[in-house]
Amino acid sequence: MLLKPATDVRLRAYAPYSRFKVGAAIRATSGAIHVGCNVENVAYPEGTCAEAGAIAAMIAAGDTAIAEILVIADSPAPVPPCGGCRQKIAEFAAPDVKVTLCTTDGAQKTMTVAELLPGVFTAAHMAKA
């Protein structure tokens, strides 16, 4: 269900510096699908990941909860979200939400948010603030 939208949006990635195009698709708990791709910048740290784009699209569309997410890239092994994106995903996904990592060759690996980000920083850690 998420493979095609993620595959399609990946082709629109702007990645002239790394040449590594990434696509991400989120199914929100509403059922709506939101997509994003990486958008690089000549000032390298200003680039954004595909997952961040998909999350921004989800929020802009009025959804706030991720039911499922899939990420795809032309990588030798199913592409894992970077550390920052794991924290971004965890903001909007329950620990048992499935994250499917894909290659454009058809390899897939499904993990949960909790498996991807053990020891996640949460609002509870700020309880004394």
Site for ligand THU in 72-91 (CB under 6 A): 79, 81-82, 85
Calculate the CA dihedral of residues 59, 65, 68, 74 and round it to 10 degrees: 30
Residue choice 9, 26, 49, 113 for contact with ligand THU (CB under 6 A): 49
Q: Which of 6, 9, 33, 40 binds ligand THU (CB under 6 A)?
A: 40
Catalytic residue among 46, 51, 68, 91: 51
Pull the structure tokens for residue 103.
């290659």
Residue closer to ligand THU, measured from CB, 30 or 112: 112
Out of 2, 6, 22, 26, the residue judged to bind ligand THU by CB under 6 A:
22
Closest CB 20 distance from ligand THU, rounded Å: 4
Residue 33: φ, ψ to 5°:
-110, 135
The sign of the torsion formed by the CA atoms of 113, 119, 120, 122 equals: positive
Query: 13: helix, coil or strand?
Result: coil
Is residue 46 part of the annotated active site? The answer reads no
Q: In angstroms, what is the minimal distance from the CB of 8 to ligand THU?
A: 15
Structure tokens at 98: 């499935």
Task: Give the whole-angstrom CA distance, residue 43 versus residue 37.
Answer: 18
116 lies in the site for ligand THU, by CB under 6 A? no
Helix (H, G, I), strand (E, B) or coil at 39: strand
> Which residues are known to be catalytic?
51
Footprint on this chain of ligand THU (rule: CB under 6 A)? 15, 18, 20, 22, 38, 40, 47, 49-51, 71, 79, 81-82, 85
